[in-house]
């Protein structure tokens, strides 16, 4: 059974009533941004904010996460709601009173909004605990910005924190521009890219620049590899399932008349489907090794897997579309036409549990979403009003999924 109009309206009103409190929490978090997997001040604020809600709270062991289980009054399965907690090594350009108190660190990706929005959802859900058939796992996650915090929380058991594997998982990401405040956007299937790093070393034999035939020059081989990788991308992969390979660093030698022993290449690799993500490392290694072999040299290829492709379940995106429109009207939902080439470690959760990740517009009122500063900018600003959207959508997704299970 889907949530009815009256329940959705009540959720929206409850989330709006929480706004002063969620805003206060968001501002407190914004003033003490922390990096990586160890966020003691952030964790303390989360624990304090949840203290009066009668939840089963489990702080992380290897990282400063918080897993909190809200038990409903009726039996049923468990669902998961996630908010990431970490900031970025960015020096904030102040605009008004709300500014980082930690020099060189800033909530420039809006994860303070995610934490406060998830606490807001927890309060809305706790207030109607008696009607809930099942449990809600609240996943407060450090280390999204390249540290794989979601992976570590899965290893510590977050997906089974309620005693059984969660049957649905939902997360939001606020956007400082591109989407107007209060608008929710997503798409079925691939929403975000996988991001990998490849490091290539071409092994030659150094010598005198005037007598290359007595040496084995790795420099022209490295140059051929750069071009061969671009040819590989266009000849071996479907143009509608794109691959991006960018060699961002190339290094060899010391001066003009010395052939070096080695040449190094570093590249970033973006893919948009699990199949392509799986296939691309072997293809890259083949090109590098065989181009080198063609010239009598060798290449070693070190391929580092980053976050996998973020893939939304189609049924769960339909749920997100329906509850968003029920909460805030038809215009509050936007079908995202294409995936975005950024990466996200909620992908690890969505590899194991059907769910949906959605973008929430937080462009400050009065600014043009097309020109406002984007996430990760030292001037990125996030509208507090988007906390109502985040809290209401997360709470509604959890309730709607549990209502479906209750039949
Ligand atoms: Zn982010």
Please compute the mean of the pLDDT values over residues 237-257 and round it to a whole number: 96
What's the pLDDT score for residue 407? 78
Mean pLDDT, to the nearest integer, of 162-188?
Answer: 97
The mean predicted confidence, pLDDT, of the chain is 97
Is the pLDDT reported for residue 337 higher than 90?
A: yes
- Taking the centre of ligand 1 as the mean of its atom positions, its distance from the CA of residue 245, in whole angstroms, is 22
**pLDDT, tens digit, 9 for 90 and up, residues 134-172:** 999 999 999 999 999 999 999 999 999 999 999 999 999
In a 3-state reduction of DSSP, which class is residue 246?
Answer: strand
Q: How far is CA 16 from CA 22, 106, 184, 320, 364, in A?
A: 10, 26, 16, 19, 18
How much distance in Å is there from the Cα of 407 to the middle of ligand 1?
A: 35
**For 181-208, what is the mean pLDDT?**
97
Give the burial string for 112-146 (b: 16+ CB within 10 Å, else e).
Answer: bbbbbbbbbbbbbbbbbeeebbbbbbbbbbbbbbe
Q: Which residues are catalytic?
A: 86, 144
Give yes or no for residue 128 having a pLDDT over 90.
yes
Say which DSSP state 88 is in. B
Contact in structure between 74 and 162 (CB atoms under 8 Å): no
* Mean of pLDDT values over 304-320: 97
- Residue 2 CA to ligand 1 center (angstroms) comes to 30
pLDDT of residue 95: 86
Specify whether the CB–CB gap between 398 and 125 falls below 8 A: yes
Q: Look at residue 183 and give its three-state secondary structure.
A: coil
Split at pLDDT 50, 70, 90, the class of 1 is: confident
- Using one digit for the tens of pLDDT, what is the confidence trace for 5-22? 999 999 999 999 999 999
Taking the centre of ligand 1 as the mean of its atom positions, its distance from the CA of residue 114, in whole angstroms, is: 9
Rounded to 10 degrees, what is the CA torsion of 316, 320, 322, 328?
170
What is the Cα–Cα distance from 116 to 388, expressed in whole angstroms?
Answer: 10
pLDDT of residue 2: 87
Domains of the chain: residue spans and CATH: 5-189+310-406 (3.40.630.10), 194-304 (3.30.70.360)
Distance in Å, CA 201 to ligand 1 centroid: 32
């Amino acid at each position: 059974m889907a949530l009815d109009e009256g329940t959705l309206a009540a959720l929206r009103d409850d989330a709006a009533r929480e706004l002063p409190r969620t805003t206060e929490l968001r501002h407190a978090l914004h003033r003490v941004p922390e990096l990586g997997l160890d966020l003691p001040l952030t964790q303390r604020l989360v624990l304090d904010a949840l203290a009066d809600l009668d939840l089963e709270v489990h702080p992380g062991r290897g990282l400063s996460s918080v897993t909190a289980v809200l038990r409903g009054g009726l039996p049923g399965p468990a669902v998961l709601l996630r908010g990431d907690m970490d900031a970025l090594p960015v020096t904030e350009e102040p605009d008004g009173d709300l500014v980082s108190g930690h020099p060189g660190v800033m909530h420039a990706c809006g994860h303070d909004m995610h934490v406060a929005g998830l606490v807001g959802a927890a309060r809305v859900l706790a207030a109607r605990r008696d009607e809930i058939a099942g449990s809600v796992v609240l996943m407060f996650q450090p280390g999204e910005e390249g540290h794989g915090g979601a992976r570590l929380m899965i290893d510590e058991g977050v997906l089974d924190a309620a005693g059984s594997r969660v049957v649905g998982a939902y997360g939001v990401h606020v956007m400082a521009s591109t989407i107007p405040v209060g608008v929710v956007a997503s798409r079925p299937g691939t929403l975000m890219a996988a991001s990998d790093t490849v490091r290539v070393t071409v092994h030659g034999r150094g010598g005198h620049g005037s007598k290359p035939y007595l040496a084995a020059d790795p420099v022209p081989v490295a140059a051929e590899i750069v071009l061969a990788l671009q040819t590989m991308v266009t000849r071996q992969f479907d143009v509608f399932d794109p691959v991006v390979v960018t060699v961002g660093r190339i290094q060899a030698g010391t001066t003009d008349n010395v052939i070096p022993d080695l040449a190094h290449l570093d590249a970033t690799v973006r893919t948009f489907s699990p199949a392509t993500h799986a296939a691309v490392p072997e293809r890259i290694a083949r090109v590098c090794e065989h181009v080198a072999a063609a010239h009598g040299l060798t290449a070693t290829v070190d391929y580092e897997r980053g976050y996998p492709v973020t893939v939304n379940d189609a049924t769960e995106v339909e749920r997100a579309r329906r509850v968003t429109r029920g909460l805030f009207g038809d215009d509050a939902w936007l079908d995202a036409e294409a995936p975005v080439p950024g990466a996200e470690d909620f992908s690890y959760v969505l590899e194991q549990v059907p769910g949906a990740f959605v973008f929430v517009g937080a462009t400050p009122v009065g600014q043009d979403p097309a020109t406002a500063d984007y996430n990760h900018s030292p001037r990125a600003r996030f509208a507090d009003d988007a906390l109502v959207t985040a809290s209401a959508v997360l709470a509604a997704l959890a309730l709607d999924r549990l209502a479906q299970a209750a039949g």
